[in-house]
Structure 1
Amino acid sequence: MSGLSKNNARIRELRKIIKGSKQRLQSEKFAIEGLELLREAISTGHSPIDIFLSESSTLSGSVEELVQETDAKIWSISDDLLSSLASTVNPQPVISTLPIFNYSIDNLLSPLANFLVVGLGINEPGNAGSIIRSAAAAGAQGVVFSKNSVDIFNPKAVRSSAGAIFRVPISIGFEDVQIIRSLKQVDMSLIGLSGEGSTTYTAIDFLRPFAILVGNESTGLQTEVLQEVDHLVSIPMDAGVESLNVAIAASIVSYEAKRQRLL
C-alpha cells in the first residue's frame, strides 16, 4: 500500500471526479465513500479501480481482504487529505473509484421486463438515489433517468441509493421522447404520477407490464409526456398538504405494485 500526496495525479483526478459531473463523464469513473458501499459494489460484481485509505484507519486489513480477487490498487493518504476530498462533513476513512456503468434502454426492455421506474427531469441527487433505492426494494427490473435528470453518479445520489445503484439496472442519457417511444414499442402501460391525476394509484392494475413515470420536482411531467401516458394517477392526501416529495411518491406507487404482485 503506497502513500500519495495532494499533488499526485490520482488525487487530482479523484478530487475532480467527486466534485464534477463533467470529469466523471470524461474519465468514465465515479467515487464511493465508505466500506459498506465498497462491499456492496464488489458483492454485485462491480470491481473498484483505486481505493484511497486514510493513514490512521484500522480498516486496511478488511479492505485488503475485500479486494483480494480484484485488480484494485490501495493507496494510503493522510487524514487531512482524505477529509479535504470527501463529500461529507464527517468522512469515512475509505474512498474508492469505479467504472461508470449504463445499461441500454433496449437491454432493460427485454421480454421479461414488466416493472420499470422512470425519472424525467429529476433535479435533486438525493431524490434520484432514493428513487433507485425504493425501485430496487420493490422489485423493479430497471430504472431509467432522462438526459435532463441529475447525474446519478453524484456522490449524494450514490449515497442516497444505499448501495441499490449496484443492484438494479439503470439506463441514463435518453431524451423524454425516446424513452416514451421505447416503452410504447414493447406495449408497457405508462403510469404517470401527478397531483392532478384523476385516478387513485390503488385503482391501477399492476399485474401487466408497466412503467411508473415521475417528473421534475417543481414542474412535474411535461405536457408531451402527459399526452402519452395511459393512466395519470394521484396519491390521496389530507387537505392542506401541497404535495409529496417525488421520491416518496415513487416509493408509494412502487410498493402498491409490489403488494398487488404478492397477492
Structure 2
Amino acid sequence: MPAPDPITSPQNPRIKNLLKLQQKSSERRAQGLTIVEGHRELTIAHGAGVRITALFVCPELAGETQLRELRGLLGSGTTEWFEVSKAVFEKVAYREGSDGVLALVQPPRRTLESLPLPAAPLLLVLESVEKPGNLGAILRTADAAQATAVIVCDPRTDLYNPNAIRSSIGCSFTVPTVATTRAELLAWCQQHNIQTYAAALTDHAVPYTTCDFRGPTALVMGTEADGLTPELMQACDHTIIIPMRGAIDSLNVSTATAILTFEAVRQRQ
C-alpha cells in the first residue's frame, strides 16, 4: 500500500536518486535498476516478469481507478509504494502528459549464450545504436514481428535507457535484448549457422526482396549518420538494400528495420 506520508520535497533522497538514475547510465549499471514511467509500460514490464522494486505515484495525476488497477496488479508483494506530490512528480517525470506512475525496476541481463534459439531464429542486429528513440522503435517492431531477439553491437546508449523504454512502450522487456561486441556476434552467428544480411548502400548490394530469409537470419543495421562500419559490413554473408525511387537514398533506421523484418515474417508464413 502507498506510504502514509507523501513525498513533497525534491530534496528527498529517493527523489534525488530517481533523478540520478534517469540521467546517468553509470548509476543504472551500478544499482542494477532503471526507470519505467507510465501505467501501460509498467503493466507490460510486469507481464514480462520484470521485478518492480519501488512504485512512485501521484494520486492527483493517476486517479483512483488507475491506482486500484496497480494495487490489483502488484498485490501485496515486495514492491515499495510511495505517494508523491504533483510538484515533485513533475520534477522526476520525463515525458509530457504523464499519467502519474513511475517505477524502479530490475532489468534483465542477457548474453548471447543465454539466448534460446529456435530452429530458424530471426535476429535484429544494431551496430553502435546511439539514439534511444530508434532503439525503442525497433524493439516495438521486434515485438510485433515476434523476432527472436535484438542484439546491439558496441552500443552507444544503455539498452534500458528510460527514453528507450518509453519509445518501446515497454517492449524493452518483451523482446530478449543483448549487448555484445562485433567480434563476439560474428563468431556466435557462425557457430549457430546464422546468415548475416548487412543493410548497406554499396555497388554489390542486392534488393532485399530477392533474398531468402526463411532460414536462421540476422538483419544487420547501422547508424543513421554513418551506416555500418566497413569491418562489420565486409564480415557479413550478404549485403542488401531497400531500393529507393525518390531523391533520397536512405530511410530512418527504425523504418528500414521494420521493412526488412516484416519481409522476413511474410516469407516465413
Distance 2:149 2:120 in 1: 8
For structure 1, the residue ranges without an aligned partner over 5 or more in a row are none
Q: Alignment partner for residue 223 of structure 2, among 216, 225, 230?
A: 216
Instruction: Give the drift of 1:207.
Output: 1.1
Aligned sequence identity (%):
28
Partner of 1:23: 27
Instruction: Give the drift of 1:149.
Output: 3.1
SS in 2 for 1:167: coil
- 1:254 paired with 2:261, answer yes
SS in 1 for 2:123: strand
Distance 1:199 1:242 in 2: 15
Match of 1:13, as an amino acid?
N
Partner of 2:250: 243
SS in 1 for 2:51: coil
> How many correspondences in the alignment?
261
1:106-185 alignment, distance < 5 Å:
106-108=113-115, 110=117, 112=119, 114-172=121-179, 174-185=180-191
Instruction: Give the drift of 1:237.
Output: 1.2
Distance 1:105 1:99 in 2: 19
Task: Say whether the 8 Å CA contact 1:47–1:98 is kept in structure 2.
Answer: yes
Q: Alignment partner for residue 37 of structure 2, among 33, 49, 62?
A: 33
Q: Alignment partner for residue 80 of structure 2, among 73, 79, 84?
A: 73
Distance 2:97 2:146 in 1: 32
Deviations for 1:224-245, whole angstroms, at most 9, x for unmatched residues? 1111111100001113113100
- 1:202 paired with 2:206, answer no
Instruction: Give the drift of 1:120.
Output: 0.6
Task: Say whether the 8 Å CA contact 1:48–1:96 is kept in structure 2.
Answer: yes
Distance 1:71 1:81 in 2: 24
Task: Say whether the 8 Å CA contact 2:117–2:148 is kept in structure 1.
Answer: no
SS in 1 for 2:55: strand
Task: Give the superposed CA RMSD.
Answer: 1.5
Partner of 2:195: 189
Task: Say whether the 8 Å CA contact 1:48–1:70 is kept in structure 2.
Answer: no
Where does structure 1 differ by over 6 angstroms across 4 or more consecutive aligned residues? Answer: none
Distance 2:116 2:250 in 1: 31
Match of 1:221, as an amino acid?
L
TM-score (norm 2): 0.92
Distance 1:45 1:148 in 2: 25
- 1:95 paired with 2:99, answer no
Partner of 1:54: 58
Task: Say whether the 8 Å CA contact 1:120–1:149 is kept in structure 2.
Answer: no
SS in 1 for 2:72: helix
For structure 2, the residue ranges without an aligned partner over 5 or more in a row are none
Instruction: Give the drift of 1:152.
Output: 2.2
Q: Alignment partner for residue 8 of structure 1, among 7, 12, 18?
A: 12
Deviations for 1:45-89, whole angstroms, at most 9, x for unmatched residues? 112110000142313222211110531111001101111101113
SS in 2 for 1:165: coil
SS in 1 for 2:57: strand
Deviations for 1:142-177, whole angstroms, at most 9, x for unmatched residues? 1111233321212221111122112111111x2212
Partner of 1:233: 240
Instruction: Give the drift of 1:201.
Output: 0.5
